């Protein structure tokens, strides 16, 4: 069985992420979307909340599983015996960072963990979780960027009276 890991912060999941997940799910027998528990970042949503939103928004994709991990991605990849990482690329700005990460992961894993890039669908090229959160903080419309259940969850974090 060919499996791949799609790791990320997913704080929260956007239509851009969902597009990558759907396309990856058509290429692999199994896609494991894994939420990184990064102690250095202060996320808007807890890992549990992010996992739940991913589970709800991918429930129609039967070969997609949701998980979480902390620590080095290559250690996680080895622990679940999946040597392929998927990452999404939006623009040149993503490229430099992603290239460095991909090469680092190859070195750290002695060439056993490789990264596969999927380029964003054009309609989502502008989308990012941080952009969505910034708009939501000012009570702007985020329905173009996230599914309704994610929109509701974000609205609860930024109540109108705040």
List, by residue number, the catalytic residues. Answer: 17, 41, 90, 129
- Beta strand spans in 17-63 (E): 30-36
Q: How far apart are alpha carbons 142 and 157 in whole angstroms? A: 13
Nearer to ligand ADP, 95 or 159 (CB): 95
User: Residues 23-52 vs ligand ADP: string with x where CB under 6 A?
Assistant: ------------------------------
Nearer to ligand ADP, 45 or 87 (CB): 87
Among 77, 74, 56, 75, residue whose Cα is nearest residue 66: 56
Is-contact 58 18, C-beta < 8 A?
yes
Interface residue with ligand ADP among 61, 99, 128, 149 (CB under 6 A) is: 128
Which tokens in the block code for residue 95? 């490229």
Q: Which residues contact 55 (CB under 8 A, 6 or more apart)?
A: 66
Distance of CA 34 to the CA centre of its chain: 7
Q: How far apart are alpha carbons 123 and 16 in whole angstroms? A: 9
Nearer to ligand ADP, 94 or 114 (CB): 94
User: Is residue 17 within the footprint of ligand ADP (CB under 6 A)?
Assistant: yes
Interface residue with ligand ADP among 9, 25, 34, 58 (CB under 6 A) is: 9
Interface residue with ligand ADP among 57, 105, 109, 120 (CB under 6 A) is: 120
Interface residue with ligand ADP among 8, 64, 105, 115 (CB under 6 A) is: 8
Which tokens in the block code for residue 126? 């502008």
Chain contacts with ligand ADP (rule: CB under 6 A): 8-10, 14, 16-17, 20, 87-88, 90, 94, 120, 124, 127-129
């Amino acid at each position: 069985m060919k499996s791949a890991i799609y790791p990320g912060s997913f704080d929260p999941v956007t239509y851009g992420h969902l597009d990558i997940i759907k396309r990856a799910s058509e290429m692999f027998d199994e896609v494991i979307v894994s939420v990184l528990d990064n102690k250095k970042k202060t996320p808007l949503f807890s890992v549990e909340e992010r996992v739940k939103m991913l589970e709800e928004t991918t429930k129609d994709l039967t070969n997609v599983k949701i998980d979480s991990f902390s620590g080095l991605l290559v250690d996680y990849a080895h622990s679940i015996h999946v040597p392929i990482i998927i990452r999404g690329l939006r623009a040149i700005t993503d490229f430099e960072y992603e290239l460095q990460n991909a090469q680092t992961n190859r070195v750290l894993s002695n060439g056993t963990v490789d990264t596969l890039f999927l380029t964003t669908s054009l309609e989502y090229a502008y989308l990012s979780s941080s952009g969505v959160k910034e708009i939501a903080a000012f009570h702007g419309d985020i329905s173009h960027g996230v599914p309704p259940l994610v929109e509701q969850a974000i609205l609860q974090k930024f109540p109108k009276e705040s």
